[in-house]
Amino acid sequence: MPLRSTPESAFESVSGYDYPVSYQSVGDLEMAYVDTGEGKETFLCLHGEPTWGYLYRKMIPRLSARGRVVVPDAVGFGRSDKYTDPTEYSFRLHYEAFERFLTELDLTDVTLVCQDWGGILGLTLAANHPERFARLVPMNTGIPTGDQEMPEAWEEFRDFVERVEELPVGMLIQEATTTELSPEVIAAYEAPFPDEGLKAGARAWPDMVPRKGGGDGAEMTRAAARRLGEWEKPAFVLFSDSDPITRPNRDPLREHIPTATEQPDVWVEGAGHFLQEDAGEEIADRIVAFVDRT
């Protein structure tokens, strides 16, 4: 099981994300994370495919004015350790890494801010450890149980990731945003992946989504979905209006989590799949307001 980490020199040109980086051992792997701000509130921000903690850079200043903000890079992404063989990755590997991260840092009273795979894993984590979570903010994500058909746009994306020889991470992120990204921003998203071997995690995640006829981890997400159906703490479902893949998940998720309909019925307008990139400051303000009213 070849294991590598991206050289720190690859991140030298990344700007706008100049926070000290810490590392936490999660078994044989090291997870990198940013930990900034202080206060009784803790925001745990989880990214998805194929991004890293940099995705939250527009939100951190506003969230850290309200409390502590912890932003880990998932295994295989950012500055965290990476397997170079896609078959080394599994739902359980990612889940147990985040679970170990949560308990080793002893995070409590957590407001979970999660998107894409950060939501699939984060919501499962919260369902299994409700004593550590105070609130949920799922964004452009879901808790797939292995029963659903996936949208055509997602099938095309998965097929592209599987067959393309060189995975164009920056292009994928640009295609899933509504704003024009600068060359510097695209380079920052590509920084963790200076060669194809380091992209194994990004190649593995799409096909891992639990769905009808495929994926991984459905037994875990199915149990988590049942628990979330009895969730009693505040939840604020915050989706963008211009994401063709996850937009249909929004209303079912909002109706499934019992407390979600107690919060404002909001769509983030004009934002794509990576709404943190398109509307980060607006989202952060809405999350702070959610914390204040609950």
Letter string b/e over residues 64-90, b meaning 16 or more CB atoms within 10 A of that residue's CB:
bebbbbbbbbbbbbbbbbbbbebebbe
**CA 291/CA 40 separation, integer angstroms:** 11
For the stretch 151-193, pLDDT in tens is 888 999 999 999 999 999 999 999 999 999 999 999 999 999 9
State residue 1's pLDDT score.
Answer: 59
Which residue is catalytic, options 35, 81, 116, 216? Answer: 116
Tokens coding 248? 């249909």
pLDDT greater than 80 at residue 289: yes
pLDDT greater than 70 at residue 234: yes
**CA 281/CA 57 separation, integer angstroms:** 9
Three-class SS of the chain? CCEECCCHHHHCCCCCCCCCEEEEEECCEEEEEEEECCCCCEEEEECCCCCCHHHHCCCHHHHHCCCEEEEECCCCCCCCCEECCHHHCCHHHHHHHHHHHHHHCCCCCEEEEEECHHHHHHHHHHHHCHHHEEEEEEECCCCCCCCCCCCHHHHHHHHHHHHCCCCCHHHHHHHCCCCCCCHHHHHHHHCCCCCHHHHHHHHHHHHHCCECCECCCHHHHHHHHHHHCCCCCCECCCEECCCCCCHHHHHHHHHHCCCHHHCCCCEECCCCCCHHHHHHHHHHHHHHHHHHHC
- pTM comes to 0.97
Percent of the chain at pLDDT exceeding 70: 100
Residue-range domains of the chain with CATH: 3-293 (3.40.50.1820)
Residue from 181, 49, 31, 196 nearest 121 by CA: 49
A 10 A CB-CB count for 289 gives: 14
Q: Which residues are CB-neighbours of 106 under 8 A, at least 6 positions away?
A: none
Are 94 and 74 within 8 A, CB to CB?
Answer: yes
Which residue is catalytic, options 73, 216, 243, 278? Answer: 243
Active site residue 109: no
pLDDT greater than 90 at residue 2: no
Provide the pairing of β-strand 3-4 with 82-83.
Answer: antiparallel
**CA 126/CA 129 separation, integer angstroms:** 5
Active site residue 116: yes
Across 81-101, average pLDDT:
97
The tokens 């209303």 sit on which residue? 251
State residue 17's pLDDT score.
Answer: 97
Across 122-132, average pLDDT:
98
Are 59 and 53 within 8 A, CB to CB?
Answer: no
State residue 59's pLDDT score.
Answer: 98
Across 31-35, average pLDDT:
98
State residue 8's pLDDT score.
Answer: 96
Which residue is catalytic, options 81, 216, 273, 278? Answer: 273
Active site residue 35: no
pLDDT greater than 80 at residue 42: yes
Looking at every residue in the chain, the average pLDDT score rounds to 96
pLDDT greater than 90 at residue 12: yes
